[in-house]
């Protein structure tokens, strides 16, 4: 079985504008550029993603370009293969091709999503399904789920993910990160 190639989304690349401070403390633009589409890698190679921002800790360091007397360092470059930020936050855009389905998975994260274009079906482990459309939001709280685009159109979702503690059941078992090939 061959690995599907990264598909070309009809949506434009995502423009990322990053602000910061100059040595005098004035607001300035650190970067203004289109972010290229990249692949999720081994578990979903067909649907493109756009990596926008990563911080490895909360509260975030927002003065590195002046406090360390060096240029702003884009942490996302070192973490583009991370699905979530274990102790920080991640901002990303995901495009879903018509007919595509993600693997069933759980990450140790609290994810906020906004459907910008199209529609997507959220499928939960207990079999419940909900269709989300443009403008709808999802607060994904470390649950087993997958995404399926049942429409004939592409879907774009903006996600912000925060690292979270594992879910602890009443008997003390922890529900950690998990990926299924169902």
Does residue 7 belong to any structural domain of this protein? no
Task: Give the C-alpha separation, 134 to 24, whole Å.
Answer: 42
In a domain, 3, yes or no: no
Integer Cα distance of 91 and 74 in angstroms:
12
Q: What is the pLDDT of residues 120-170, one digit of tens each?
A: 999 999 999 999 999 999 999 999 999 999 999 999 999 999 999 999 999
The structure's pTM equals 0.89
- Angle at Cα 110 formed by Cα 84 and Cα 120, nearest 5°? 85
Note whether residue 150 is domain-resident. Answer: yes
Q: Is the dihedral of CA 138, 35, 47, 3 positive or negative?
A: negative
Residue 1 domain-assigned (yes or no):
no
Q: How many domains does the chain have?
A: 1
Q: Does some domain include residue 2?
A: no
Range(s) of the domain holding residue 50: 14-167+175-179
Q: Looking at residue 36, which CATH number applies to its domain?
A: 2.60.120.10
For residues 173 and 135, the answer to whether their CB atoms sit within 8 Å is no
> How far, in Å, CA of 121 to CA of 99, rounded?
11
Q: Does residue 9 lie within any of the structural domains?
A: no
Position 147 in a domain = yes
The predicted structure's pLDDT at residue 33: 96
Asked if residue 59 has a cis previous peptide bond (ω within 30° of 0), the answer is: yes
8 within some domain: no
Reported as a single tens digit per residue, the pLDDT across 89-107 is: 999 999 999 999 998 999 9
- What angle (nearest 5°) sits at the alpha carbon of residue 94, between those of residues 88 and 12? 120
Q: CA gyration radius for the chain?
A: 18
Q: pLDDT per residue over 20-78, tens digit each?
A: 998 888 999 999 999 988 887 655 567 899 999 999 999 998 888 887 667 888 888 88
């Amino acid at each position: 079985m061959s690995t599907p190639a990264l598909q070309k989304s009809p949506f434009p690349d995502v423009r990322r504008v990053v602000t910061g401070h100059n040595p005098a403390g004035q607001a300035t633009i650190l970067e203004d550029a289109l972010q290229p589409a990249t692949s999720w890698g081994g578990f979903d190679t067909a649907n493109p993603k756009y990596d926008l921002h990563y911080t490895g800790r909360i509260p975030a360091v927002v003065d590195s370009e002046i406090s360390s007397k060096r240029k702003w360092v884009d942490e996302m470059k070192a973490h583009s293969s991370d699905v979530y930020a274990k102790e920080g936050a991640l901002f990303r855009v995901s495009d879903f091709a018509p007919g595509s389905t993600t693997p069933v998975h759980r990450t140790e994260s609290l994810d906020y999503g906004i459907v910008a274009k199209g529609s997507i079906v959220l499928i939960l482990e207990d079999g419940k399904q909900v269709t989300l459309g443009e403008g709808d939001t999802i607060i994904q709280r470390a649950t087993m789920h997958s995404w399926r685009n049942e429409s004939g159109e592409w879907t774009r979702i903006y996600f912000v993910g925060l690292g979270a503690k594992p879910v602890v059941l009443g008997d003390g078992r922890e529900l950690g990160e998990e990926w299924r090939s169902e």
